[in-house]
């Protein structure tokens, strides 16, 4: 398992046990691992977190330039939400073996904007 994903799960374990968060399904963990592999070549690694509903999010920030969050679930979906400059984006797409085009475009735009 990817170290960042493992750390996020370890951090979420007390919340899953004590607050009733949903443990990510095996298919969500597989999707998150695949997504981490696909974005592994980016200049900056994302922050990885387990969300209360059992989804897993990867997030990048670029100071005043904006942010991007990619979230995977157990239904084979990838949701991306972003603010880049004055523009807001949000969309859910099927997630297969490749990063969806629009999610990849947003990631490239954010990383090109700076840290």
Its pTM stands at 0.92
At 65-111, the pLDDT tens digits run 899 999 999 999 999 999 998 899 999 999 999 999 999 999 998 98
Question: What is the band of 115 on the pLDDT scale with cuts at 50, 70, 90?
Answer: low
Q: Strand order of the sheet with strand 56-61?
A: 47-50, 56-61, 66-72, 77-84, 87-94
- The predicted pLDDT at position 50 comes to 97
Could you report the per-residue pLDDT of 22-62, keeping only the tens digit for each?
Answer: 999 999 999 999 999 999 877 788 999 999 999 999 999 98
103, 93 Cβ separation under 8 angstroms: yes
pLDDT reported for residue 23 = 95
Helical residues (DSSP H) of the chain, grouped into ranges: 3-19, 26-38, 101-113
Q: What is the pLDDT of residue 14?
A: 95
The pLDDT, as a whole number, for residue 95 is 95
Pairwise CA distance, residues 81 & 90, whole Å: 4
The whole-angstrom separation of Cα 106 and Cα 31 is 19
């Amino acid at each position: 398992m990817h170290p960042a994903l493992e750390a996020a799960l370890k951090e979420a374990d007390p919340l899953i046990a004590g607050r009733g968060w949903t443990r990510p399904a095996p298919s969500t963990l597989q999707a998150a691992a695949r997504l981490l592999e696909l974005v592994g070549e980016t200049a900056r690694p994302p922050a990885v977190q387990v969300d209360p509903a059992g989804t897993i999010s990867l997030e990048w920030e670029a100071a005043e330039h904006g942010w991007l969050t990619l979230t995977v679930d157990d239904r084979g979906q990838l949701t991306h939400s972003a603010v880049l400059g004055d523009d807001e984006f949000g969309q859910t797409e099927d997630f297969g073996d490749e990063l969806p085009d629009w999610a990849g475009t947003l990631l490239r735009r954010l990383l090109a904007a700076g840290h």
